[in-house]
Amino acid sequence: MLLRFIAVMIIYVIPGAVAAYGFKTMRDTLYLYFDPAIHHFLLGRFLTGLVFFILGVAFIAGFILHKDRKKNLVQKRFRRKTDV
């Protein structure tokens, strides 16, 4: 039971937290852009958030695709060439 909990944490929660942090960083950067006290756009901070967001979402999406391919639940265009 504990191993299953740890597996869920590694597969879903940690990448989800990384994606949420990336989204929050991008959102905060855009809000700071419209703040009259700050006169520049924090491009590095925004791109870091974008990378975190993309990596987190891509990891979760890749795992779900892998799991569905094993169960043969995907459409024909998403199947591997060897499975068709």
- Does 49 map to a domain? yes
CB 59 within 8 A of CB 36: no
State the residue range of the domain holding 38: 10-78
Q: Are 64 and 74 in contact (CB under 8 A)?
A: no
**Is 66 domain-assigned?**
yes
**Residue 17 counted as domain residue:** yes
Q: Would the pLDDT of 78 be above 90?
A: no
Q: Is the pLDDT of residue 77 over 90?
A: no
Could you tell me which residue, 41 or 20, shows the higher pLDDT?
Answer: 20
Residue 63 lies in a domain: yes
Kindly state whether residue 57 falls inside one of the protein's structural domains.
yes
Tokens 């006290």, residue located: 37
pLDDT at 5: 92
83 within domain boundaries: no
19 within 8 A of 62, measured Cβ to Cβ: no
Query: Quick one: pLDDT at residue 17?
Result: 97
Number of domains in the chain: 1
Is 27 part of a structural domain of the chain? yes
Assess if residue 2 is contained within a domain.
no
pLDDT tens for 48-71 read: 999 999 999 999 999 999 999 999
pLDDT reading at 84 higher than 80 = no
